[in-house]
């Protein structure tokens, strides 16, 4: 009797597996990491990936080794994609509060239009970061979720010609690649849609250069070489060694510099850092990036004396570099002026206080006679990986520096 039932159960299980031979039963489950983002499956997918070299093929999001770069679909222009914010969020080696550091993710915000003549009730917008570091080494990291700020579903259908806001964050690339510069880096958006009447569309709706330089900090500018105007989208506290500024939704400012998920903004000569997630470009589209800008050398007043930068020099050391700033201080008044040496240097990774030389301290102790001038030299510690951005007085004037990184 036992043998009979054993055979019966074995035959029944075999029949069930044959009848339910759906490959999806064997797809690896998705899991969530500690940050709540979906991890990529660890095994190869059973369905072959679409050939990414075909411009009309969807992007292969996972299970592809050494992928080709994504290409825009021929219908991409009809989606009228407008990017309002593109930046990198990253923890490089050793920067995580708890190891391991989370790595490099691409963040994109903007709007996309439904170009179909039908209502869409299912849609997923996937952000993609592609980076090739050598002929044998390339990575493609995709975002998870629907990608839309308001998910497209039956309760929130996407009407023809309507624009929808999106925010996508790609899965992180290993933090070790902070130490490398890719041969090619691209940002892409892949949109799949379905209508209630069964129409299905999938297109790569945008491909552009990925701003890899902003991983370590870059100035941004428009075509006319001016800082782009940004609109504040949420309450923001702007901080720097020189000022603290509160901005409200709808306020505008100028964006000077991007360092990962921080932006250096200016409003009415007040400059400070704020979260990139809380701003949007007034003119949609990617600004251009530049490594340096001219140092500001025009005179500015502080406590009845006029200060002007005459020289900036970076001194290279093994552990930490230093920046030497020479000021000419003039006294346009009628009384002896006492100069101040309590300045701060703001750089791309923090700030440091001035260390004046003995001669400068003595000259300021004596004071500056009316109608005369003197020179002082201030030194500031600077991490080897940092770029000097600004120097000035707390609550007083400040000057923009060239922002140059240490030459390799």
What is the reported pLDDT for 63? 56
Give the burial class of 137: count Cβ atoms within 10 A of its Cβ; 0-12 exposed, 13-18 middle, 19 or more buried: middle
* pLDDT tens sequence across 102-112: 899 999 999 99
Residues in the chain: 408
User: Higher-confidence residue: 25 or 377?
Assistant: 377
Nearest of 260, 268, 266, 270 to residue 230 by alpha carbon: 266
Specify whether the CB–CB gap between 354 and 345 falls below 8 A: yes
* pLDDT at residue 214, as a whole number: 85
**Residue 317 predicted with pLDDT over 50:** yes
Choice between 36 and 95, residue whose per-residue pLDDT is larger: 95
Cβ atoms 265, 254 nearer than 8 A: yes
pLDDT in tens, 178-203: 999 999 999 999 999 999 999 999 99
Which pLDDT does position 147 carry in this prediction?
A: 95
Token pair recorded at residue 213: 């330089």
Distance CA 268, CA 254 (A): 9
| C-alpha to C-alpha distances, 234 to 89, 238, 280, nearest whole angstrom | 19, 12, 10
Cβ neighbours of residue 264 under 8 Å, at least 6 residues apart? 255, 256, 257, 258, 271, 272, 273, 389
Q: What is the mean pLDDT of the chain?
A: 83
Q: Which domains does the chain have, with CATH numbers?
A: 76-211 (2.60.40), 217-290 (2.30.30.40), 300-400 (2.60.40)
Q: Coil, strand, or helix at residue 280?
A: strand
d(CA 53, CA 330): 64
**pLDDT number for residue 10:** 53
Which percentage of the chain shows pLDDT scores above 70? 83
Rounded Cα gap, residues 368 and 335, in angstroms: 9
pLDDT tens figures, 72-107: 999 999 999 999 999 999 988 888 777 788 899 999
Residues 6+ apart with CB under 8 A from 299: 306, 307, 308, 330
């Amino acid at each position: 009797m036992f043998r009979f039932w054993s055979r019966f159960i074995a035959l029944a299980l075999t029949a069930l597996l044959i009848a339910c031979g759906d490959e999806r039963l064997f797809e690896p489950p998705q899991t969530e990491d500690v940050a709540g983002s979906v991890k990529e499956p660890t095994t190869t997918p059973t369905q072959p990936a679409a050939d990414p070299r075909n411009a009309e093929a969807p992007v292969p999001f996972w299970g592809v080794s050494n992928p080709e770069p994504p290409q825009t679909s021929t219908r991409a222009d009809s989606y009228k994609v407008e990017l309002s914010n593109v930046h990198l969020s990253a923890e490089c080696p050793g920067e995580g509060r708890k190891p391991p550091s989370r790595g490099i993710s691409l963040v994109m915000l903007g709007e996309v239009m439904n170009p179909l003549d039908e209502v869409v009730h299912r849609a997923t917008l996937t952000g993609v970061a592609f980076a090739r570091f050598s002929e044998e080494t390339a990575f493609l990291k995709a975002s998870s979720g629907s990608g839309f700020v308001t998910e497209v579903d039956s309760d929130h259908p996407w009407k023809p010609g309507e624009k929808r806001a999106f925010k996508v964050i790609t899965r992180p690339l290993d933090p070790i690649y902070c130490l490398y510069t890719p041969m090619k880096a691209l940002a892409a958006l892949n949109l799949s849609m379905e209508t209630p009447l069964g129409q299905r569309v999938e297109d790569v709706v945008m491909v552009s250069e990925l701003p890899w330089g902003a991983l370590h900090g870059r100035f941004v500018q428009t075509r006319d070489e001016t800082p782009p105007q940004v609109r504040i989208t949420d309450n923001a506290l702007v901080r720097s060694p020189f000022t603290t500024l509160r901005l409200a939704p709808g306020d505008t400012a100028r964006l000077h510099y991007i360092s990962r998920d921080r932006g250096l903004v200016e409003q009415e000569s007040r400059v400070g850092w704020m979260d990139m997630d809380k701003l949007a470009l007034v003119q949609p589209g990617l600004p251009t990036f530049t490594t340096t800008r001219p140092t500001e050398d025009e005179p500015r007043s502080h406590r009845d004396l006029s200060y002007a930068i005459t020289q900036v020099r970076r001194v290279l050391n093994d552990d930490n570099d230093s920046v030497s700033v020479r000021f000419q201080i003039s006294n346009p008044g009628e009384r002896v002026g006492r100069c101040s040496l309590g300045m701060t240097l703001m750089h791309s990774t923090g700030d440091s206080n001035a260390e004046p030389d003995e001669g400068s301290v003595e000259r300021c102790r004596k004071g500056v006679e009316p109608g005369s001038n003197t020179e002082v030299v201030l030194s500031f510690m600077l991490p080897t990986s940092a770029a000097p951005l600004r120097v000035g007085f707390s609550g007083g004037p400040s000057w923009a520096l060239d922002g140059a990184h240490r030459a390799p």
